[in-house]
Amino acid sequence: MKRIPLPLLILPLAVLAGATPARPKAAKVGAYRDVDPADGAARAEVMAAKEAVQKYFVPALLKLDTVQKAASQVVAGTNYRLECSVTEPGGNSTWVFVVWKQLDGTWLLTDAKREGGFGPTPSSTPPAGP
């Protein structure tokens, strides 16, 4: 009778013991995750982000109406990406704003763009000349 070395018997068992069932795909580190602007827990942060947008960007001629979609991204602090409906003198449009809540709790607007990309943004409109 042929003898099989013990390590050769244990190896397949160790491999089988280490096999785990397939896990669901994890979210990418640093990826945005959707936030429900109406959710009680997230609402305060989304509204604070909206206020930061109004404070740092929206000139008097724009009215920030509602937050349609929101997403957050954990960085050194948290980025909030807000898709908002905005009333402009020419009608309604959709804008996407990114505000960063820094670790010390202060807010900074890092990006603002009109969806569709047509025309100049109000912040880049040159002042009326003489």
119: left (phi over 0), alpha (psi -120 to 50) or beta: left
Q: Does residue 130 fall inside a structural domain? A: no
Indicate if the pLDDT at residue 119 is higher than 80.
no
Domain containing 79 equals: 31-115
How many distinct structural domains can be found in the chain? 1
The whole model's pTM is what?
Answer: 0.63
Q: Using pLDDT thresholds of 50, 70 and 90, give the confidence band for residue 105.
A: very high
Q: Which CATH number belongs to the domain containing residue 43 in this structure? A: 3.10.450.10
Q: Does residue 6 fall inside a structural domain? A: no
